[in-house]
A and B are shown apart, each in its own frame.
Chain A
């Protein structure tokens, strides 16, 4: 059991990060190769200028018409995605671990604040789930997998929170947390979470088609 824990807390963390990073790179390489082989025409239309124009336009909160039409959802999604990165990266407990391993450290969130932000992330995920149940056009598109995705993202936040507060089963909770954290990292390149790299690509293409060919905005 201890060996298992040591593995989970040690090499597996490495492995998870490697899979996460290499997986995303692999994904990109496959797409580029695939585009070169089958859809090289895409390059005739891709334009750096219009790709960035579209990506930036879509990063500005409430700038695209679509975001103004569903403001609550977008606000929550926006906060969710930001915190998804901010909380783990600037979390004191995480920085401590990195520091122990690499003697690196950086700005850390106040623990209470981090705690609150974690709750916000979980609430956002609850909101997404409720929305999938209640909004007909979303419900229509929702399948079981979509809830699984929400649960998978929620797990590290929930377990991290529980571990931090040491409510119960502290040790097991930490283990569960680390496993679920690793799971998320590993899954990102190989699940719908890969939209993390796909989003800029699809946006760039549509942005280029609109900017370059159609001389129109796409937001």
Chain B
């Protein structure tokens, strides 16, 4: 998240009409709102095969044959993947990157927006580009791209050729993890789920070493133990220790540096979350088949979810853990074990204040969007709403919503709504 201190927290309401865009353009695609809420933008079609981006009613100076993947970036700007003359590049509010590719995709940005990465293909070779700086070496294929907070990039690359249906070559291992374009000299049958450490210097990832053996590798060396399966590993914050869910003896366990870490064997254990502040570790787990809960430091929440827990997030201070899940056909949240009373059709990404006192989230119910703050639904429905921002002092919420063809940037005072 960008520094929200500089945002305008004092103007109650700013409006931008968007309905008329529909008359100005052949079609208008999904809207995206800048982080500071000042700008709403959409990819628009001007005429056959002519696209641009409309920001608060003003179009970019450049037009493109194709455009997709519009994303807000810091300073109220937007980036999109654009193409002209069959060449693709990134355009930042109308200013293209220098490098051109045959295709680009998988837009990623680090937390403060100083680094932007994409996967690229040029002349049927694959790599990544970070801030307009492509990898020196390109590969036959690329998957599982990641960007570290420090701007390092990594991905699974295919380092040697494989003929069609050549399962013998596959068996030898043709995939490697490449960091900033340089493949680590260790191949595997498969590599998944690359994680960077805080420094962005080390990588950990899940590997398959033969048909039925899985392990975790850190940089170029896999753990000695092989498992029945593994999920995404994580580095402990500011540390080179790695934790990972591994399946052994038919059960999922949390391991740390190749040693059992949590004691409890689970039916399922995945999606780790770590609080850098408190060092607490949480995971989505299942103790009984078909029933889900959250475990924090190996202690399960007193909550049983029958469908899916999609995500868990800690507040910056680690005091609050929020889970987004679907139970009995409805989406809702739980904050520190306590289930909210929502019964939503969709729940978007929650927003948690640094001290954990405020949790707010956008939901959709019967086609209308609502803002929910601390389990309290604000009754005004909107046609569209995107992730809100909580003010640095946790007293206000910046709501970004569209109603009746008008985009509204509203500052809601928490003492009024709660």
Contact = CB atoms under 8 A, between A and B. Distances in A.
Interface of A: 40-41, 43-44
B203 to A, nearest CB: 36
A41 B289 CA distance: 5
Contacts of B288: 40
A63 to B, nearest CB: 32
Nearest to B290: A44
Interface in B317-345: none
Interface in B359-382: none
A44 B307 CA distance: 12
Nearest to A38: B250
Nearest to A45: B290
Interface of B: 288-290
Interface of B: prevailing SS: loop
A144 B296 CA distance: 58
Nearest to A44: B290
A41 B250 CA distance: 14
Contacts of A44: 289-290
Nearest to B288: A40
Nearest to B306: A44
Nearest to B291: A44
B227 to A, nearest CB: 20
A41 B288 CA distance: 8
A42 to B, nearest CB: 9
A182 B288 CA distance: 43
Contacts of B289: 40-41, 43-44
A44 B290 CA distance: 7
A197 to B, nearest CB: 24
Nearest to B250: A38
Cβ-closest 5 pairs across A and B: A41-B289, A44-B290, A40-B289, A44-B289, A40-B288
B291 to A, nearest CB: 9
A44 B288 CA distance: 10
A43 B288 CA distance: 11
A41 B290 CA distance: 8
B235 to A, nearest CB: 34
A43 B291 CA distance: 12
A122 to B, nearest CB: 48
B298 to A, nearest CB: 21
B252 to A, nearest CB: 15
A87 B376 CA distance: 71
Contacts of B290: 41, 44
Nearest to A43: B289
A179 to B, nearest CB: 46
Contacts of A41: 289-290
A114 B29 CA distance: 83
B19 to A, nearest CB: 44
B124 to A, nearest CB: 44
